[in-house]
Structure 1
Amino acid sequence: MMPESELKSWTRRDGQFTYLCSTDPKQIQLDAYNAALESDLLWWAKRLGDDVIKKVVENSLCFGLYMLEDGTADSSSQETPRQTMIGFARIVTDYVTFGYLTDVYVLKEHQGKGLGGWMMECVDERLNTWPDLRGFLLLTTHQSAVRMYQNKLGAQDIQEGKTKLLVMEKQGPAAVRDHVFE
């Protein structure tokens, strides 16, 4: 379960649109996340049952990326702006020493606006509050993503270091069998 101290929200204004990035699991739109799991955005994954996806979110540190429909984030307003989830990132973690980044996406119609990079800046801000963090891992196959993770998270290709690290996997019964990491 996510510690209360990990709850954080950020807003960003871009022209006529306001975007929100939040770690509040209550805001995650499970149907939108599940739709992404069965899309080409997350080619290594597949749709999960409603009870299973809820458990995934409850047991991870999740970053939901939202577009606010009314275009404002006016805190003086009594009404909560309607929001549409347009991106997501999930960290599998103990909230102290280790994190593994997965399920990162921004919907295609919202790509190219710097939102993925901004979401990674939000991730980095949270990670920088963990004084006992030993390691943060992620896997990617796209060069543009490599550059973003290097620039926004300070992540490095560990194959370039002195330690040879092998990525190993034990597939479970629900694994998507046709994925290949090259």
Structure 2
Amino acid sequence: MLNDSNFQISTDRSRLDVAMIYRFLSEQSTWAIGISRDVVERSIENSLCFGGFVDGRQVAFARVITDYATFANLVDLFVLPEYRGRGYSKWLMQAIIDHPSLQRLRRFTLATSDAHGLYTRFGFTAPAKPETLMERYFPNIYLS
């Protein structure tokens, strides 16, 4: 657990406010509008999750999908709108980068449409060989 005055970060899944995470992702995110509660719950169960808390209330979240040996993908990082601008996303990213189980990975990826400045601070760059990357992408899958 990391602590900076009132902001605490924990990977203890039992502390997560799944209802809040679901509401944010399904109603306010730009990447998971319409996602079902069941999918959110399964994604949390199968990921390394980071919760950010202020006075015991969860205000931030991120998950890392990983094999803990060679690869990780950072997804679903957010800070609730009323708590933005306080540096919480930077603290969350530092906790993720420093996590003991995420060291010495060959590749650590993420996708972002608007937070390049945040992720660049932590060593993320555009792919060195974008021609080697492929994907199956269904951006509106939760709306169908």
Report if TM-score (shorter chain) is over 0.5.
yes
* Other structure's SS at 1:88 match: strand
TM-score, normalised on structure 1?
0.70
Residue segments in structure 2 that go unaligned for 5+ positions in a row: none
The answer on whether the counterparts of 1:87 and 1:107 sit within 8 Å (CA) in structure 2 is yes
- The answer to which structure has the higher helix fraction is 2
Q: CA offset at residue 171 of structure 1?
A: 3.6
Moved over 6 A (4+): none
Report the RMSD for the aligned CA atoms in angstroms: 2.3
> Equivalents in 2 of 1:62, 1:107: separation in Å?
16
User: Match for 1:43 among 24, 30, 36?
Assistant: 30
From the CA coordinates, give the structure whose radius of gyration is larger: 1
> Equivalents in 1 of 2:135, 2:43: separation in Å?
22
Q: Which residue of 2 aligns with 1:93?
A: 66
- Structure of higher RCO (CA pairs closer than 8 Å, 6+ residues apart): 2
Q: Percent identity?
A: 29
TM-score, normalised on structure 2?
0.87
Aligned pairs for 1:4-153 (under 5 A) are 9-13=1-5, 18-40=6-28, 42-45=29-32, 46-49=34-37, 51-68=38-55, 83-126=56-99, 130-131=103-104, 133-142=105-114, 145-151=115-121, 153=122
Residue segments in structure 1 that go unaligned for 5+ positions in a row: 1-8, 69-82
Query: Number of aligned pairs?
Result: 143
